[in-house]
Amino acid sequence: MRSIFFAIAALGASIVSADNIVSITSPLTGTVYTAGQPALISWIDATVSTIPAIVIAQGDPNALQPVSTIASNVDASAGSYTWNIPADFAPGTDYALELGTSPNISFTGLFTIQAGDGSSASSSASASSAVSSVASSSAVPSASSSAVVTSSSVAASSTVASSSASVASSSSSTSPSASTTPNAANKKTTALAGIMVGSVAVAMLLV
């Protein structure tokens, strides 16, 4: 029973000792900063001579997660500190500052850090989607054009083959020695067939 009493007393003492070391005047809730630009952090009514740390945190106000320490051992009597936000700092709408170390910490309300060009992460995603759509649209005509070229090549091959066959037929019917010299006619027919096969092969290579 006595141990429980001492535990409660110790907890009460730790709660009493927790204190705001300054009253923060900037940034206020809803302030918007821009990556790559300076951000003024200011305060009044300092109860300490030195602020041990200024930490930027992110997330739910009741469960902030530290992101990075932006300053250490800051002169509290100065009343302000200028933070040069890195140009590549991740944009977000749920940032807060913690001035001090536990249990004596002063907190800001949530504020926003936007990208250097003023755009948000969702805007960047939309832009990427638009680029993908344009790329897809460009690919379709290319495929169609390839199909047209292939069809034209096949048609040309067929035309060459037909022309070769017509020449072969005409040569067979008009040759004066076809009926008297069958061996010569066979040689001509074989030669024409060879020419036709060669033409088709060349047309297929061009395709």
User: 74-132 pLDDT, tens per residue?
Assistant: 999 999 999 999 999 999 999 999 999 999 999 999 999 999 886 655 344 444 444 44
Return the structure tokens found at 7: 């535990």
Contacts of 99 (CB under 8 A, 6+ apart): 21, 22, 24, 41, 43, 51, 53, 54, 105, 106, 107
How many CA atoms within 13 Å lie on the side-chain side of 13? Answer: 6
Q: Which residues pair with 113 in a beta bridge?
A: 33, 92
* Integer CA distances (angstroms), 150 to 95, 178, 187, 207, in order: 59, 40, 35, 6
Residues 19-64: tens digit of each pLDDT: 899 999 999 999 999 999 999 999 999 999 999 999 999 999 999 9
Average pLDDT score over residue span 147-155:
40
**Amino acid 81: pLDDT:** 98
Global pTM reads 0.51
**Amino acid 47: pLDDT:** 95
